[in-house]
């Protein structure tokens, strides 16, 4: 299967604007998807933050959909990195969102007075929940929210409260996804536009991951025997179980892929994480050996 790539033209402008804005902020708040925290982290954001010597508050959003044990491992992994602090949240949970300004302030204690406002920037790849989080932080709707990537197209800076400002930035991908596995995880989690992927291929790759990591969840949801299946076989089984049949009796694998991807994205399969620090290290090691 070909590698997944997605870098719409407007993102070049967004990248340049983000680099300019970094010069005038104190803390980068990067929103990632807790189900794939490393794959959904934009290396450009970290690279630009390091260049400007800005700390990063790494938010593992959608933690309510992720495997709690894996989330705990990822938080420890991020916290061990210099200049990075991690927190697991759901942007729909007001109490968890309410902790964010204090966490950001801890990373920039030099701005903790009445004369220097704490200047924060919200960044991340498309469709990880930045707009939902922005609205929750401000307790009013200021950012357009949608279930398609790249809804936000321009920056805006708003007062978050006394002595605090927050700049929202468009969802930003990077020009080349280095690892095929990352591309498929991102596509499965709806961070990549549908015009760049084939749903059946994405669903089959997602199936392979879940067969290895969460076979019991698949057995419970679709009444299948996971040990007898591969990714494509699982998709065919979903088609049979969910009545995805076209005229003439053939399986409608495109419809089955949409059913399966929706079940994963909505949490219907349970709390699932597609990668762990250990699986990430093994993937990178295998890549280096090639």
Of 1-15, 56-70, 266-280, minimum mean pLDDT range? 1-15
Q: Are 180 and 287 in contact (CB under 8 A)?
A: no
Of 152, 168, 184, the residue that ends a domain is: 168
Within a domain: 234: yes
Within a domain: 113: yes
Considering the domain architecture, whether residues 106 and 206 belong to the same structural domain is answered as no
Within a domain: 78: yes
Please determine, for residue 111, whether its predicted confidence score (pLDDT) is greater than 80.
Answer: no
Average pLDDT for 168-179 = 81
Please determine, for residue 5, whether its predicted confidence score (pLDDT) is greater than 60.
Answer: no
Q: What is the pLDDT of residues 198-230, one digit of tens each?
A: 899 999 999 999 999 999 999 999 999 999 999
**Percent of the chain topping pLDDT 90:** 62
Here the CATH number for the domain that contains residue 203 is 1.10.1580.10
36 Cβ contact list (under 8 Å, min separation 6): 182, 185, 186, 189, 273, 274, 275
Of 127, 150, 168, the residue that ends a domain is: 168
* Burial tier of 15 (Cβ tally within 10 Å: 0-12, 13-18, 19+): buried
Within a domain: 178: no
Short-list 270, 198, 200, CA closest to 231: 200
Residue 190 is encoded by which pair of tokens?
């709806």
Considering the domain architecture, whether residues 135 and 64 belong to the same structural domain is answered as yes
Considering the domain architecture, whether residues 86 and 164 belong to the same structural domain is answered as yes
Instruction: Tell me what pLDDT residue 240 has.
Output: 96
Here the CATH number for the domain that contains residue 157 is 3.40.50.300
pLDDT confidence tier of residue 148, bands split at 50, 70 and 90? very low
Within a domain: 249: yes
- State the pTM of this model: 0.88
Considering the domain architecture, whether residues 156 and 217 belong to the same structural domain is answered as no
| CA distances from residue 83 to 8, 18, 19, 21, 49 in whole angstroms, order as listed | 30, 19, 18, 19, 9
Within a domain: 186: no
Within a domain: 241: yes
Within a domain: 135: yes
Please determine, for residue 62, whether its predicted confidence score (pLDDT) is greater than 80.
Answer: yes
Q: How far apart are CA 62 and CA 171, in angstroms?
A: 16
Q: Rounded mean pLDDT of the chain?
A: 88
Please determine, for residue 146, whether its predicted confidence score (pLDDT) is greater than 60.
Answer: no
Average pLDDT for 157-179 = 84
**Residue with more model confidence, 191 or 56:** 56
Considering the domain architecture, whether residues 237 and 281 belong to the same structural domain is answered as yes
Instruction: Tell me what pLDDT residue 2 has.
Output: 42
Instruction: Tell me what pLDDT residue 185 has.
Output: 95
Residue 256: which domain range?
198-289
Please determine, for residue 173, whether its predicted confidence score (pLDDT) is greater than 90.
Answer: no
């Amino acid at each position: 299967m070909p590698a997944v790539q997605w870098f719409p033209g407007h993102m070049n402008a967004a990248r340049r604007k983000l680099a300019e804005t970094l010069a005038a902020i104190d803390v980068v708040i990067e929103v990632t998807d807790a189900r794939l925290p490393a794959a959904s982290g934009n290396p450009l954001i970290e690279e630009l933050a390091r260049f400007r010597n800005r700390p990063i508050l790494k938010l593992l959003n959608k933690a309510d959909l992720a495997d709690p044990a894996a989330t705990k491992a990822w938080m420890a992994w991020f916290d061990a990195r210099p200049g990075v602090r991690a927190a697991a949240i759901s942007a729909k949970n007001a109490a968890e969102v309410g902790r964010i300004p204090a966490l950001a302030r801890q990373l920039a204690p030099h701005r903790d007075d009445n004369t220097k406002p704490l200047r924060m920037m919200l960044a991340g790849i498309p469709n990880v929940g930045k707009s939902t989080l922005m609205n929750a932080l401000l307790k009013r709707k200021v950012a357009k929210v949608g279930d398609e990537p790249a809804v936000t197209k321009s920056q805006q800076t708003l007062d978050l409260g006394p002595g605090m400002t927050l700049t929202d930035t468009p969802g930003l991908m990077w020009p080349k996804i280095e690892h095929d596995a990352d591309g498929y995880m991102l596509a499965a989690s709806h961070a990549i536009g549908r015009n760049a992927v084939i749903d059946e291929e994405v669903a089959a790759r997602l199936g392979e991951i879940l067969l290895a990591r969460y076979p019991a969840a698949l057995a419970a949801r679709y009444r299948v025997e996971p040990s007898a299946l591969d990714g494509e076989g699982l998709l065919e089984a979903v088609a049979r179980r969910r009545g995805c049949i076209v005229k003439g009796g053939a399986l409608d694998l495109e419809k089955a892929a949409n059913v399966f991807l929706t079940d994963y994205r909505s949490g219907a399969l349970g709390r699932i994480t597609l990668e762990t620090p250990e699986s990430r290290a093994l993937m990178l090691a295998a890549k280096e050996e090639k």
